[in-house]
Chain A
Amino acid sequence: MELTDRNAQWRDELRYSMSNKERTEIARVKMNELDGEYRSHNSEEVNQGLTKEQALLEAKRCLDCPNPGCMTGCPVGINIPSFIKNIERGEFLNAAKVLKMTSALPAVCGRVCPQEKQCESQCIHLKMKKPAVAIGYLERFAADYERESGNISLPELAPKNGIKVAVVGSGPAGLSFAGDMAKKGYDVTVFEALHEIGGVLKYGIPEFRLPNSIVDVEINNLEKMGVKFMKDTIVGKTLSFDDIKAQGFKGMFVASGAGLPNFMNIEGENLIGVMSSNEYLTRVNLMGAAKDEFDTPVLKGKRVAVIGGGNTSMDSVRTAKRLGADLAMIVYRRSEDEMPARKEEVKHAKEEGVEFRTLHNPIKYIGDEKGRVKQMLLQKMELGEPDEKGRRRPVAIPGATELVDVDTVIVSIGVSPNPLIPRSIDGLEVSQKGTIVVGDNMQSTIPMIFAGGDIVRGGATVILAMGDGRKAAAEMDSYLKNS
């Protein structure tokens, strides 16, 4: 195909239009961002994207390697050099087309993927001690350009084959699977438990990092490709697995996500004002609780502690700041180096005035006479020997504790798989942790059921979930064609 052919004439010409030395001497682009103080009081998107000029220049940095390492780092296998070279030659809409060949949600991935750990971590520039090409920024640029141009292209669809497949859950894994199966000609229906399509992209990731309107455009594209969405429908509850079979579905992909929030089981954790990040973010993001015209309430704490150091913790603490917290604080038991959150999120949080209390761990919450949390007791920690993952283990320093005044505590220490599906389908093998057991081909112990995303992984990233969806689509396709 012309757009992705490295030997196409336009691509050869482009490659030789500039020397590699010249390309590597260009400095990596900086993302345009809103001012930290300004943005900490509103829900406007923090990252403003690249201008055309910035994108054109950044695209020149890509050396168009014959064996591109970046692609090996992409869970959905985007043809990265091809989309970047289309940007370099000014064919932004074609760049978007290349993205959509393998990704159902490029505007989302361009915003929330940890590129520094994936595609960009394999970039040739790193071997030359230069910063990687800003693949994520360019991906976002191409997807945004297409959307804003109004010329949104649909990927090519195979002729309809009339085979019905069901998807459980409309988060990144489910949407990615649905997009690929629609491309392959299947009749796809996505069942969603909530009243909004998008899963964690809607209830979890805040507006200032991923605007809902962006997610909706990607969902509309899937609808245009023929994907049907059923809201308010819980497979295993509203419709049983037998109902699904009776309705003629030949395959089912379970992508119901990691619902159940983890708590630490420490004293006072059920006090009023202590809640999971899922609850806090769902109230604000899905239910509109911060806005007057919506009925759902949320506690607008003045002294807010968020327990944990992941991306969800950063989303929660930055949300607290936006809801008017005077003190918004991350409490994390290891040091900043071990934090699982993206560096960019940590940087953004700091710019917005978030405090970091690293090497601290809550051991108890204390309530007032009304049962509301008023203080937390923190244990000071130090780093000990590395654990099995190589991260240095946090160890309590005997006797070193500190009492801190708080009125809201958001517990953000991870999630467990949602138990609804595993509990409701007989014969489905589930691990001790509650994840659905699948083989390398994403197939469960019930042949027509495939699964992916957090219900299999137990808590990962948007892009890994999307990669699972893509893989499951390919595998289910071959299963259905051979059975």
Chain B
Amino acid sequence: MYKIINKEQFSENVFRIDVEAPLIAKARKAGHFVIIRIDENGERIPLTIAGSDLEKGTITLVVQRIGVSSNKLCALKAGDYIADVVGPLGKATHIEKFGTVVCACGGVGTAPMLPIAEAMKKAGNKVIAVLAARTKDLVILEDEVRKVSDEVIIMTDDGSYGTKGLVTNGVESIINREKVDLCVTIGPAIMMKFVSLLTKKYEVPTVASLNTIMVDGTGMCGACRVSVGGETKFVCVDGPEFDAHQVDFDGMMSRMGAYREQEQAAFAKYKESING
């Protein structure tokens, strides 16, 4: 059992949860994820690690309430326990001095980007972060990202904060004004797809961190498989980061909907159960 030490609400549906997992806190690097199972009847879901505190022995997860599991997780309080947390999984981000690195994040994607931006900065890169969200309230971790970036560009769909526009508009404005050596993108699949299309046009090498369906997360089931450069790869052991220009995002998005009907039915049942 893994104790929740701290919980904070970032926006209506986004929460930060710090979980006691000292071994993972010690071993994790930027880009790693964990698999959690909330309770004895829970499913195994992957969540990217947003940070850790070695002294407290905690890891930070940022979760958006969408379906049953994320809602169950966000309903837990500090002092409650999560049945299982296992990791750190996946390959760590490849960090080196590239030059100028653009970190293009959408929504909760900012959370797993934070340790990557931090590591890129530490390696001597110039880090420019683009934080995109639908509206001002959904921009998260801005101060934390500012601390590890040379520049932060905020983009909102409705123009309520920063510049009105999409993440791609922000990235394109940077590419148009200076040489970008690497782009890292984390967010909804559709967003990463468009970032990838854009940077491909400008021939900017781009890495995307994929968030596919997983069961075991250790290379056993193949639920997470995705086509990269025409070859089938397992996100859990070969990724989660891949050359974005090689990823078949359409195939990935289709597979992410594999259980949509079951998920919707389960969520309706869940809402009914909590509303009594």
Chain A interface residues (CB < 8 Å from chain B): 193-195, 203, 231-234, 237-240, 259-261, 263, 265, 269-270, 272-273, 275-276, 278-279, 282-283, 287-288, 293-297, 299, 370-371, 418-420
Contact = CB atoms under 8 A, between A and B. Distances in A.
B222 A371 contact: no
A282 B232 contact: no
In the complex, the 6 A-B pairs of residues with the closest C-beta atoms, listed nearest first: A371-B254, A297-B262, A279-B221, A296-B43, A259-B220, A232-B86
A237 B89 contact: yes
B109 interface: no
B37 interface: yes
A238 B222 contact: no
* Residue of A237, A239, A259, A288 with most partner-chain B CB within 10 A: A237
* Residue of B219, B226, B262 with most partner-chain A CB within 10 A: B219
Interface string B1-36: 000000000000000000000011001000000000
B88 A270 contact: no
Contacts of B68: 295
Contacts of B72: 295
B245 interface: no
A270 B225 contact: yes
Given A237-B27, A238-B86, A282-B221, A195 B37 contact: yes
A429 B85 CA distance: 30
A420 B237 contact: yes
B268 interface: no
Given A272-B257, A287-B44, 15 more contacts: A195-B86, A231-B84, A234-B218, A238-B88, A260-B220, A265-B232, A272-B258, A282-B216, A293-B41, A297-B43, A297-B266, A371-B251, A371-B255, A419-B237, A420-B218
B262 A276 contact: no
B83 interface: yes
B167 to A, nearest CB: 25
Given A231-B84, A263-B222, A272 B254 contact: yes
B24 A238 contact: yes
B218 A279 contact: no
Nearest to B215: A282
B87 interface: yes
A292 to B, nearest CB: 9
A424 B276 CA distance: 49
A295 B86 contact: no
B125 interface: no
* Residue of A234, A294, A295 with most partner-chain B CB within 10 A: A295
Nearest to A300: B262
Contacts of B27: 237-240
* Residue of B24, B226, B263 with most partner-chain A CB within 10 A: B24
A282 B27 CA distance: 27
Nearest to B32: A237
A287 B218 contact: no
17 contacts: A193-B218, A195-B84, A203-B216, A232-B84, A238-B23, A239-B27, A260-B219, A261-B221, A261-B222, A270-B227, A270-B255, A272-B254, A276-B222, A278-B222, A279-B215, A282-B220, A296-B43
A283 B86 contact: no
Contacts of A296: 43-44, 215
B206 interface: no
Contacts of A419: 219, 237
Size category of the binding interface on chain B: 35 or more
B interface: dominant SS: mixed
Interface of B: 23-24, 27, 37, 41-44, 68-69, 72, 83-89, 215-216, 218-223, 225-227, 232, 234, 237, 251, 254-255, 257-259, 262-263, 266
Given A272-B254, A418-B219, A288 B37 contact: no
Contacts of A371: 251, 254-255, 257
Contacts of B216: 193-194, 203, 282
Contacts of A293: 41
A234 B218 CA distance: 9
B263 A278 contact: no
* Residue of B27, B218, B225 with most partner-chain A CB within 10 A: B218
Contact of B221 (A237, A273, A278): A278
Nearest to B220: A259
Contacts of A240: 27
Contacts of B23: 233, 238-239
* Residue of B43, B234, B266 with most partner-chain A CB within 10 A: B43
A237 B24 CA distance: 8
Given A278-B220, A293-B41, A418-B220, A237 B87 contact: yes
A193 B37 CA distance: 13
A111 B20 CA distance: 40
* Residue of A194, A273, A299, A370 with most partner-chain B CB within 10 A: A194
A270 B218 contact: no
Contacts of A237: 27, 87-89
Contacts of A203: 216, 220
A150 B222 CA distance: 41
A166 to B, nearest CB: 14
A203 B72 CA distance: 24
Nearest to B251: A270
Contacts of B263: 297
A278 B83 CA distance: 23
A463 to B, nearest CB: 21
A420 B87 contact: no
B262 to A, nearest CB: 4
A194 B85 CA distance: 10
A107 to B, nearest CB: 24
A434 to B, nearest CB: 11
B43 A295 contact: yes
Nearest to B270: A295
A380 B15 CA distance: 55
Contacts of B220: 203, 259-261, 278, 282, 418
A203 B220 CA distance: 10
B59 to A, nearest CB: 12
Nearest to A194: B216
Nearest to A276: B222
Contacts of B262: 297
Nearest to A367: B254
Contacts of B234: 260
